[in-house]
Amino acid sequence: MTIDFENALRRSRIETPRYEFKQGILKLDISRSIDQDLLVRIVETACGIANLGPDSDGYIFFGVADREAHADRISTLDGIQKRKFAEHFLVGIDREAIILGISLDEYTKKLVTAFQMSKMTEPLRTQILSSFDTITIHGLTCVRIRIPKQTDMSFVDGKAYYRENSNTIEIQGQKLLSISKLFIK
């Protein structure tokens, strides 16, 4: 699993439609509070990745900063040393679990709960819930969420999402019809 994780980081020099990198769930301000909006957006992002078509899986990584400025801010706030790997910066989730005063298991449960409580359509929600991996790489714990390829479009609370480059957008109308054709067998 560690080799797969490292290979994914090497393959994706930048965020792409199928790869999303998040430093963690805490805001990078002095409050270090949980970013509740991020927990909502990550579900939408997973839906957007699933709606790229039935050809391949996608991934969301937690504990990986895609911007050096974020990694530097984390180093300052949390007193950790960033570790550059490929074009990304490993910062792990351990530091956030410590700040929150919880175990790594409880930290991961916060991510799982975001999906459990979401109004994401089935079977995607159930498939994602069985696709969480916690990986220790270079002494840091990261979470990888696999977004399995789908045979039908997916929705969150009746809304469809799609990934354009590294952005997750809500789609409607002609764009929705166009994307739905990717799933026609």
What mean pLDDT is reported for the chain?
93
Cα-based distances in Å from 144 to 1, 9, 135: 10, 11, 7
Pairwise CA distance, residues 71 & 81, whole Å? 9
* Lowest-confidence pick of 35-44, 79-88, 120-129: 79-88
Sheet containing 58-62: order of strands: 19-22, 58-62, 140-147, 132-137
Distance from CA of residue 160 to its chain's centroid? 17
| pLDDT at 56 exceeding the cut of 90 | no
pLDDT of res. 16: 79
Pull the structure tokens for residue 140.
Answer: 């840091």
Residue 7 pLDDT: 79
Range 28-34 average pLDDT: 95
Q: Tell whether the model's pLDDT for residue 175 goes beyond 90.
A: yes
120 pLDDT higher than 90: yes
Predicted pLDDT of residue 14 = 63
Across the range 106-131, mean pLDDT stands at 97
Residue 15 scores a pLDDT above 90: no
Min mean pLDDT across 4-8, 37-41, 135-139, 172-176 is at: 4-8
The mean pLDDT value for 9-35 works out to 88
60-81 per-position pLDDT tens digit: 999 999 899 999 999 999 999 8
Express as a percent the part of the chain with pLDDT over 90.
Answer: 82
